[in-house]
């Protein structure tokens, strides 16, 4: 019994191969895919029919859009086809059209991942633009809000807020003492004199750095 | 204070943990942000596009609509309208590239009528002014071999289709043009005298028939109701033994034909020989209507006078002097009159516009007195191979370079003083140059084209394009301007290859580029060597070998003239070295040859035995898999590739070493299978030892295509028949955590046979890919990106990270840390990743990439029906300031800061002083 099934299985396979190898008969060829493309809603897109191309299976068969948006792709043998509407600026969703050997049509959404999933769409096809392609980055413009919410700026402003405003809000004497220390620590030394800077550069290391030693002392005390 | 920190601590740790867990999310999004889209104002800044239509098959002037155009139908199955004044494409329709898109007829009336395909046929009508389709209908005939010879024409608003059945009869069908209604059904006209040498001059079909010596010239109006045959003995018109019939190239007046070098018209059911001699057997003859009666135009390429055109009045036989001319400067090989229009001006002068198509596929629109209005190099619609060639450095830079060249310096300047004066000299020259550019300003620089010297970042190059027609072009990559062109009529460019054998870096030697192709007629090797900067022949020039070439390569070692020798392996397995003197340099050289149909790959070792170089077949691999498979693609690594790192650092601080075999060849084979319908096999073979490193089988898959190969990774596309989608398979080869050879040692294929660890994945490509390429940079520091051209006309740039075979389905902790994107079966193809934005490229065939002097930037040229050039920066331009860098703002901010510093210092000093006084 089992061998029989296998035999039948093999024979159907062989038949299938022969069928595929034989020339397509007259009835096989000459199916058409019909549909209509809806123009993008763009007032200065007058000759959209010229830019719009109908590709079946990635350009294996090509259809052209008429003035009213209808299109026909001719001379297709029965099979499964992906119909794409190609427009440089607008995206259209592709549709899979299946034509069986009896000439029955079925149109469904293209799903490359779950190929067996069927979500039917009406046939003849009605292709509507989904979105406009966004090819370009938008140039950044200088805005005050962008500047203020920049993380670097926030990082600078927040400690300032902590140092300047918090002590006034808190009247606890102990914390005041602490904050005094912090402000001592954060006390910005004088803006360097040009000549001083040069001397520092030229005899590096020989001049002791008073600020750093002070900071060390503070640390020790803590 | 301490209290506060204790309270904060657990929260902070939690935050850290949280951050760690979303680490890979951050990596993932940062990858998405990698998409390299350009700004809208950058359109055309780094890129250009040139649109072509292909070699013109039919052309007609549009005299009806207001915008003057030429409507052309081409060999590339394109219907297009060209602007009469500029030659630019106004609109274009591209049909299928297969035989179903073949254009059989182009007819202009108040609309454009085309017939395309070869049984089934499609008849279409297009709007003459806008180019939009108006109507179409299909026609399918009974299958037979005679339909290949069928002819179409439009007569009195009816479409006539004629199928001759040689030695039997003619079938004629007449259709209503717009609807396809068959008017008079199909009529069969008995005609036993027709043969393959017959010509059609609508509506007459003319043949030479009969036994030799007793031949008849027969002609028949195939559309008339009553069958009438005009028959005359051939001897009345010609005494030549081999009588040949030829149609006119353009005929808008009276039915007629050429009998050898005689013009014969058919008027009133009679043959009428015209007393105008055809000057040359190869001349292209056209009959055109003009205001002063019909004209006979002839054009040919005279050996002495160059391109020549003459015109005669058909009625009087007088020569029309104002139209004829000859010009030596025009190089139009084998000119053909595609379309002619003649009008008369107020001063009773003929004004003709002549569209000439040459054997090199170029089309020229020529006006009176030989003024060429425009030229379209349609050979560029069919580019076969591209090579990017570096430009020579400028004289000044060359002088500096030679100054610091150690050997040169030792020779030229023995003393310190001489070197010093030379240094001063070149400094002075530099100063002069700087002053000159400053004085000249921007205005002068914009006017004259930039000189052909290398720029600072080596972004300016010459692209050498080899076309199917045998024409070679040198093109400026920045402007797309053609710098030189060279036509090699005997060059068959099928499977032709190009090698840069010497770059322009070695003055006084010229750059040297060699094209290895086949001879058009004999199929033997034809080698063309030229200077790619100027397009002049150098070295071997054009060399015609007397054997067929099996394989060719360039020797990796250069000779004393810095020239890399060309190694040719011919059909008899003999080796030729060009130049001969380089033969002693051949050492450790291996070659492999894959036979397409038998799928056998053979490896050869080349040895120099003191006198000559011989090739020895050392291995062969049979990939036929029982005879059904055939090799579709064979791809090895790019020759000039550099590798930046030998491994990948894993999260546990160990290194995963890449298998960097420079001899690795990827072979894609395809064939039918009794169980799985079609099978695709990808085999990695070592090109030196012949060892198979890995093999992968894809069942129920077809059309393997577009292999990519670089460093340790490989990728190829195929069509999954079962799921009906395109998939890309990617492979990465690793040696493991330990190196096979110590660092720094050269790789050897012959040392031990260890199979590398292969990681692989397949991804779904939700589109139909047409071409693929990998970005190439100078030192391979930059990320590799894959450029994928789609049938929709877009080129998508994908980071290799998305194609990586190490992407796990759900990455565990370590993989997350490494920054691997979790596996997703479908590749995202976002619009932002389209490098050619909305400049759709039709029928793309190949993408070529080349490194520039900037590490971040890779140059890209896409070829197909259109040419598109751009540059991409896979890791963004990290070594270059952005072009929108705001110098103004940054200097203002800097100045303001300095000012603020010193003013606050002043105020602070004043305050201190005041405090002290208190």
Q: Express each pLDDT in B475-507 by its tens digit.
A: 999 999 999 999 998 999 888 999 999 988 887
Sheet with B549-558, side-by-side order of all strands: B549-558, B564-570, B575-578
**Residues spanned by the domain of B432:** 395-447
CA B535, CA B533: separation in Å to the nearest integer? Answer: 6
Confidence category of residue B266, pLDDT binned at 50, 70, 90: confident
CA B615, CA B473: separation in Å to the nearest integer? Answer: 35
**Domain final residue, candidates B598, B622, B646:** B622
- For residue A84, give the nearest of B40, B120, B792 by CB distance: B792
B535-588: pLDDT as tens digits:
899 888 888 988 999 999 999 888 888 899 999 998 988 899 988 888 888 888
> At B433, phi and psi to the nearest 5?
-60, -45
**Mean pLDDT (whole number) for B822-831:** 89
Asked, for residue B594, whether it belongs to a domain, the answer is yes
Whether B593 and B602 have beta carbons less than 8 Å apart is answered as yes
A136, A175, A183, A191, best to mutate vs chain B, most B CBs in 10 Å: A136
CA B599, CA B328: separation in Å to the nearest integer? Answer: 51
Asked, for residue B590, whether it belongs to a domain, the answer is yes
**Mean pLDDT (whole number) for B249-267:** 82
- Predicted confidence at residue A83, as pLDDT, reads 94
Percent above pLDDT 90 for chain B? 33
Other Cβ atoms within 10 Å of B714 Cβ, number: 25
Residues A35 and A67 in one domain: yes
B431-440: pLDDT as tens digits:
888 888 777 7
Is A58 close to B133, i.e. CB distance below 8 A?
A: no
- Predicted confidence at residue B472, as pLDDT, reads 94
B838 contacts on A by Cβ (under 8 Å) = 88-89, 133, 135
Instruction: Say which residue, B35 or B857, is predicted with more confidence.
Output: B857
Chain centre to alpha carbon of residue B339? 28
For residue B529, give every residue at least 6 positions away whose Cβ sits within 8 Å of its Cβ, in sequence order, or none. B501, B512, B513, B514, B515, B537, B538, B539, B540, B541, B542, B543
Please name every residue paired with B605 in a beta bridge, in sequence order, or none if there are none.
B590, B616
Whether B74 and B380 have beta carbons less than 8 Å apart is answered as no
Instruction: Say which residue, B388 or B169, is predicted with more confidence.
Output: B388
**Mean pLDDT (whole number) for B339-363:** 83
Q: H/E/C letters for each residue in A188-219? A: CCCCCCHHHHHHHHHCCCCCCCHHHHHHHHHH
Q: Which residue of B has its CA nearest to A117?
A: B723
Whether B591 and B602 have beta carbons less than 8 Å apart is answered as no
A66 contacts on B by Cβ (under 8 Å) = 132-135
Asked, for residue A128, whether it belongs to a domain, the answer is yes
Residues A153 and A127 in one domain: no
CA B860, CA B775: separation in Å to the nearest integer? Answer: 8
Given CB atoms, is A187 within the 8 Å cutoff of chain B?
no
DSSP H or E run through B868: strand B866-872
* Count of domains observed in chain B: 3
Whether B301 and B283 have beta carbons less than 8 Å apart is answered as no
CA B745, CA B741: separation in Å to the nearest integer? Answer: 6
Asked, for residue A139, whether it belongs to a domain, the answer is no
For residue B447, is pLDDT > 60? no
B36-45: pLDDT as tens digits:
567 878 888 8
B770-796: pLDDT as tens digits:
999 999 998 888 889 999 999 999 999
> At B27, phi and psi to the nearest 5?
-60, -45
**Mean pLDDT (whole number) for B887-911:** 94
- Predicted confidence at residue A179, as pLDDT, reads 65
**Domain final residue, candidates A106, A132, A158:** A132
**Mean pLDDT (whole number) for B805-816:** 76
* Count of domains observed in chain A: 2
CA B710, CA B800: separation in Å to the nearest integer? Answer: 11
Residues A43 and A118 in one domain: yes
Please report the number of interchain residue pairs, chain A to chain B, with beta-carbon separation below 8 angstroms. 130
Q: Which residue of A has its CA nearest to B825?
A: A113
**Domain final residue, candidates B622, B647, B672:** B622
Mean pLDDT of chain B: 85
Is B826 close to A113, i.e. CB distance below 8 A?
A: yes
Instruction: Say which residue, A165 or B53, is predicted with more confidence.
Output: B53
Asked, for residue B95, whether it belongs to a domain, the answer is no
* Range of lowest pLDDT (A27-31, B328-332, B391-395, B657-661): A27-31
- Predicted confidence at residue B450, as pLDDT, reads 61
Residues A176 and A198 in one domain: yes
CA B227, CA B187: separation in Å to the nearest integer? Answer: 11
Mean pLDDT of chain A: 74
B823 contacts on A by Cβ (under 8 Å) = none
Asked, for residue B215, whether it belongs to a domain, the answer is no
User: Of A103, A100, A102, A98, which Cα lies nearest the Cα of A120?
Assistant: A98
B81, B136, B845, B912, best to mutate vs chain A, most A CBs in 10 Å: B136
User: Of B647, B523, B501, B689, which Cα lies nearest the Cα of B578?
Assistant: B501
Is B136 close to A74, i.e. CB distance below 8 A?
A: yes
Confidence category of residue B745, pLDDT binned at 50, 70, 90: confident
Asked, for residue B706, whether it belongs to a domain, the answer is no
B63-81: pLDDT as tens digits:
877 778 999 999 999 999 9
Query: Which CATH number do you get for residue A91?
Result: 2.60.40.1120
Confidence category of residue A146, pLDDT binned at 50, 70, 90: confident
Length of chain A: 222
Is B96 close to A60, i.e. CB distance below 8 A?
A: yes
Confidence category of residue A21, pLDDT binned at 50, 70, 90: very low
- Predicted confidence at residue B815, as pLDDT, reads 67
- Predicted confidence at residue B81, as pLDDT, reads 93
Confidence category of residue A1, pLDDT binned at 50, 70, 90: very low
Confidence category of residue A193, pLDDT binned at 50, 70, 90: low
Asked, for residue A193, whether it belongs to a domain, the answer is yes
Residues A35 and A121 in one domain: yes
For residue B3, is pLDDT > 50? no
Which tokens go with B552? 């060719």
Instruction: Say which residue, A112 or B14, is predicted with more confidence.
Output: A112
User: Of B671, B797, B791, B805, which Cα lies nearest the Cα of B728?
Assistant: B805
Residues A93 and A149 in one domain: no
- Predicted confidence at residue B197, as pLDDT, reads 81
Helix axes A173-185, A210-221, angle to 10 degrees: 150
- For residue A113, give the nearest of B133, B825, B834 by CB distance: B825
User: Of B527, B601, B509, B593, which Cα lies nearest the Cα of B566?
Assistant: B527
For residue A57, is pLDDT > 60? yes
* Range of lowest pLDDT (B5-19, B43-57, B400-414, B524-538): B5-19
- Predicted confidence at residue A123, as pLDDT, reads 86
- Predicted confidence at residue B115, as pLDDT, reads 93
For residue B408, is pLDDT > 80? no
Chain centre to alpha carbon of residue B52? 11
For residue B696, is pLDDT > 50? yes
**Domain final residue, candidates B596, B622, B648:** B622
Q: How far is B357 from chain A (nearest CA, A)?
A: 27
CA B457, CA B445: separation in Å to the nearest integer? Answer: 19
A28-42: pLDDT as tens digits:
567 899 999 998 887
Is A139 close to B132, i.e. CB distance below 8 A?
A: no
Chain centre to alpha carbon of residue B521? 24
User: Of B654, B772, B758, B762, which Cα lies nearest the Cα of B712?
Assistant: B758
**Residues spanned by the domain of A79:** 27-132
Which tokens go with B295? 């004209």
Q: Name the 3-class secondary structure at B738.
A: coil
Alpha helices in B251-342 (DSSP H): none
- For residue B130, give the nearest of A26, A47, A59 by CB distance: A47
- Predicted confidence at residue A16, as pLDDT, reads 33
Is A55 close to B834, i.e. CB distance below 8 A?
A: no
User: Of A95, A93, A115, which Cα lies nearest the Cα of A107?
Assistant: A95
Asked, for residue B781, whether it belongs to a domain, the answer is no
Percent above pLDDT 70 for chain B? 92
B677 contacts on A by Cβ (under 8 Å) = 17
Whether B873 and B479 have beta carbons less than 8 Å apart is answered as no
Given CB atoms, is A137 within the 8 Å cutoff of chain B?
yes
Q: How far is A151 from chain B (nearest CA, A)?
A: 17
DSSP H or E run through B726: strand B725-736
CA atoms lying within 13 Å on the CB side of residue A15: 6
Residues A108 and A187 in one domain: no
**Domain final residue, candidates A103, A132, A161:** A132
Q: How far is B9 from chain A (nearest CA, A)?
A: 19
Is A75 close to B95, i.e. CB distance below 8 A?
A: no
Is B136 close to A65, i.e. CB distance below 8 A?
A: no
Instruction: Say which residue, B121 or B743, is predicted with more confidence.
Output: B121
Confidence category of residue A17, pLDDT binned at 50, 70, 90: very low
Q: Is the peptide bond before A124 cis (omega within 30 degrees of 0)?
A: yes
Please name every residue paired with A31 in a beta bridge, in sequence order, or none if there are none.
A76
Which tokens go with B871? 């540059």
For residue B854, is pLDDT > 80? yes
Given CB atoms, is A59 within the 8 Å cutoff of chain B?
yes
Tell me how many degrees the CA angle B427-B431-B434 measures, rounded to the nearest 5: 140
Residues A84 and A122 in one domain: yes
Confidence category of residue A23, pLDDT binned at 50, 70, 90: very low
Q: Name the 3-class secondary structure at A221.
A: helix
Whether B447 and B473 have beta carbons less than 8 Å apart is answered as no
Residues A103 and A46 in one domain: yes
Is B905 close to A139, i.e. CB distance below 8 A?
A: no
Asked, for residue B122, whether it belongs to a domain, the answer is no
Given CB atoms, is A190 within the 8 Å cutoff of chain B?
yes
- For residue B133, give the nearest of A29, A66, A82 by CB distance: A66
Please name every residue paired with A89 in a beta bridge, in sequence order, or none if there are none.
none
Q: Which residue of A has its CA nearest to B134?
A: A66
In order of A217, B175, B177, B186, the CA distances from B182 in angstroms are: 108, 5, 9, 8
Most trustworthy range by pLDDT among B231-240, B339-348, B836-845 = B836-845
Please name every residue paired with B231 in a beta bridge, in sequence order, or none if there are none.
B218
Whether B163 and B149 have beta carbons less than 8 Å apart is answered as yes
Residues A156 and A196 in one domain: yes
Residues A121 and A192 in one domain: no
B134 contacts on A by Cβ (under 8 Å) = 66-67
For residue B422, is pLDDT > 50? yes
Strands in A19-164 per DSSP E: 31-37, 53-56, 61-64, 70-76, 79-86, 90-92, 95-99, 105-109, 125-127, 129-132
Asked, for residue A214, whether it belongs to a domain, the answer is no
A67 contacts on B by Cβ (under 8 Å) = 127, 132-134
For residue A90, give every residue at least 6 positions away whose Cβ sits within 8 Å of its Cβ, in sequence order, or none. A40, A129, A130, A131, A132, A133
For residue A9, is pLDDT > 80? no
Other Cβ atoms within 10 Å of B301 Cβ, number: 20
Asked, for residue B560, whether it belongs to a domain, the answer is yes
A17, A64, A76, A196, best to mutate vs chain B, most B CBs in 10 Å: A64
CA B325, CA B302: separation in Å to the nearest integer? Answer: 12
Residues A99 and A167 in one domain: no
Q: How far is A197 from chain B (nearest CA, A)?
A: 14
Q: What is the ipTM of this complex?
A: 0.82
């Amino acid at each position: 019994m089992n061998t029989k099934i296998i035999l039948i299985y093999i024979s159907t396979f062989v038949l299938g191969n022969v069928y595929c190898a034989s020339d397509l008969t007259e009835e096989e060829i000459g199916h058409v895919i019909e549909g209509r493309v809806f123009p993008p809603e763009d007032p200065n897109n007058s000759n959209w029919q010229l830019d719009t191309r109908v590709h079946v299976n990635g350009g294996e068969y090509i259809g052209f859009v008429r003035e009213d948006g209808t299109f026909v792709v001719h001379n297709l043998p029965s099979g499964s086809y992906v119909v794409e509407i190609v427009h440089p600026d607008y995206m259209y969703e592709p549709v899979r059209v299946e034509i069986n050997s009896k000439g029955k049509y079925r149109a469904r959404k293209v799903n490359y991942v779950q190929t067996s999933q069927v979500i039917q769409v009406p046939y003849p096809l009605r292709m509507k633009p989904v979105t406009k392609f966004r090819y370009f980055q938008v140039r950044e413009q200088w805005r005050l809000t962008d500047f203020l919410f920049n993380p670097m700026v926030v990082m600078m402003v927040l400690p300032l807020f902590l140092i300047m405003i918090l002590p006034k809000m808190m009247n606890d004497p102990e914390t005041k003492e602490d904050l005094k220390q912090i402000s001592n620590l954060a006390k910005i030394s004088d803006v360097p004199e040009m000549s001083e800077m040069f001397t520092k550069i030229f005899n590096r290391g020989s001049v002791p750095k008073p600020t750093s030693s002070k900071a060390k002392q503070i640390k020790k005390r803590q | 204070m301490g209290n506060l920190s204790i309270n904060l601590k657990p929260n902070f740790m939690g935050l850290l943990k949280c951050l760690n867990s979303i680490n890979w999310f951050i990596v993932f999004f940062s990858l998405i942000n990698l998409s390299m889209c350009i700004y809208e104002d950058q359109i055309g800044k780094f890129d250009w596009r040139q649109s072509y239509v292909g070699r013109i098959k039919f052309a007609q002037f549009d005299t009806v609509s207001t915008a003057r155009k030429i409507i052309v139908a081409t060999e590339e199955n394109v219907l297009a309208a060209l602007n009469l004044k500029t030659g630019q494409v106004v609109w274009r329709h591209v049909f299928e590239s297969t035989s179903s898109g073949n254009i059989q007829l182009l007819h202009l009336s108040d609309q454009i009528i085309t017939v395309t395909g070869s049984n089934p046929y499609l008849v279409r009508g297009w709007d003459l002014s806008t180019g939009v389709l108006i109507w179409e209908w299909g026609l399918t005939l009974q299958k037979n071999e005679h339909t290949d010879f069928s002819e179409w024409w439009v007569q009195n608003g009816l479409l006539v289709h004629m199928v001759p059945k040689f030695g039997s009869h003619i079938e004629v069908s007449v259709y209503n043009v717009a609807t396809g209604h068959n008017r008079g059904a199909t009529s069969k006209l008995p005609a036993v005298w027709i043969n393959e040498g017959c010509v059609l001059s609508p509506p007459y079909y003319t043949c030479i028939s009969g036994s030799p010596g007793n031949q008849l010239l027969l002609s028949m109006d195939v559309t008339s109701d009553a069958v009438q045959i005009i028959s005359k003995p051939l001897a009345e018109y010609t005494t030549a033994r081999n009588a040949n019939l030829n149609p006119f190239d353009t005929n808008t007046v009276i039915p007629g034909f050429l009998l050898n070098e005689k013009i014969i018209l058919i008027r009133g059911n009679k043959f009428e020989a015209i007393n105008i001699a055809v000057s040359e057997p190869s001349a292209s003859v056209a009959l055109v209507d003009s205001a002063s009666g019909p004209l006979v135009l002839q054009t040919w390429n005279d050996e002495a006078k160059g391109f020549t055109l003459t015109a005669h009045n058909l009625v009087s036989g007088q020569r029309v002097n104002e139209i004829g001319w000859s010009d030596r400067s025009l190089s139009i090989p084998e000119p053909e009159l595609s379309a002619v229009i003649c009008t008369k001006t107020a001063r009773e002068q003929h004004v003709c516009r002549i569209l000439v198509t040459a054997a090199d596929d170029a089309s020229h629109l020529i006006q009176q007195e030989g003024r060429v209005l425009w030229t379209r190099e349609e050979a560029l619609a069919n580019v076969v191979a591209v090579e990017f060639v570096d430009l020579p450095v400028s004289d000044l830079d060359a002088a500096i370079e030679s100054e610091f060249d150690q050997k040169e310096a030792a020779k030229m300047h023995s003393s310190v003083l001489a070197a010093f004066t030379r240094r001063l000299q070149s400094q002075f020259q530099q100063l002069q140059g700087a002053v000159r550019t400053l004085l000249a300003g921007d205005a002068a620089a914009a006017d004259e084209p930039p000189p052909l010297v290398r720029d600072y970042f080596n972004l300016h190059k010459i692209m050498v394009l080899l076309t199917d027609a045998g024409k070679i072009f040198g093109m400026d990559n920045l402007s797309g301007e053609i710098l030189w062109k060279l036509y090699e009529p005997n060059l068959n460019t099928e499977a032709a290859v190009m090698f840069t054998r010497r770059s322009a870096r070695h003055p006084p030697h010229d750059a040297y580029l060699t094209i290895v192709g086949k001879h058009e007629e004999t199929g033997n090797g034809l080698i063309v060597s030229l200077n790619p900067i100027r397009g002049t022949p150098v070295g071997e020039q054009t060399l015609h070998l007397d054997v067929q070439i099996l394989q060719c390569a360039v020797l990796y070692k250069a000779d004393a003239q810095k020239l890399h020798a060309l190694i040719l392996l011919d059909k008899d397995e003999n080796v030729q070295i060009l130049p001969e003197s380089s033969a002693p340099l051949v050492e450790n050289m291996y070659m492999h040859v894959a036979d397409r149909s038998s799928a056998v790959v053979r490896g050869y070792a080349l040895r120099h035995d003191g006198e000559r170089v011989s090739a020895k077949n050392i291995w062969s691999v049979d990939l036929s898999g029982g005879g059904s498979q055939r090799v579709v693609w064979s791809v090895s690594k790019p020759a000039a590739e550099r590798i930046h790192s030998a491994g990948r650092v894993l999260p546990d601080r160990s290194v995963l070493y890449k298998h960097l075999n420079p001899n690795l060849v990827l072979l894609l084979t395809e064939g039918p299978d009794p169980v799985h319908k079609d099978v695709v096999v990808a085999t990695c073979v070592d090109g030196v030892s012949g060892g198979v490193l890995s093999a992968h089988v894809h069942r129920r898959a077809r059309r393997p295509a577009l292999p990519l190969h670089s460093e340790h990774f490989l990728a190829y596309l195929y069509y999954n028949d079962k799921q009906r989608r395109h998939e890309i398979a990617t492979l990465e080869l690793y040696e493991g955590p330990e190196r096979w050879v110590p660092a720094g040692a050269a790789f050897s294929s012959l040392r031990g046979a260890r199979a590398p660890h292969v990681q692989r994945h397949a991804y779904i490509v939700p589109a139909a890919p047409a071409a693929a390429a990998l970005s190439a940079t100078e030192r391979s520091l930059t990320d590799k990106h894959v450029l994928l051209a789609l049938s929709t006309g877009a080129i998508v740039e994908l980071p290799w990270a998305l194609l990586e075979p190490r992407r796990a389905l759900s990455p565990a902790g370590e993989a997350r840390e490494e920054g691997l994107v979790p596996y997703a079966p479908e590749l995202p193809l976002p619009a932002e990743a389209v490098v050619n934005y909305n400049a759709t490229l039709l029928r793309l065939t190949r993408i070529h990439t080349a490194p520039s002097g900037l590490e971040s930037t890779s140059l890209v040229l896409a070829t197909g029906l259109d040419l598109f050039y751009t540059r991409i920066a896979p890791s963004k331009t990290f070594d270059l300031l952005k072009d929108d860098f705001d110098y103004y703002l940054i200097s203002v901010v800097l100045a303001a800061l300095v000012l603020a510093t010193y003013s606050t210092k002043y105020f602070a000093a004043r305050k201190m002083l005041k405090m002290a006084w208190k």
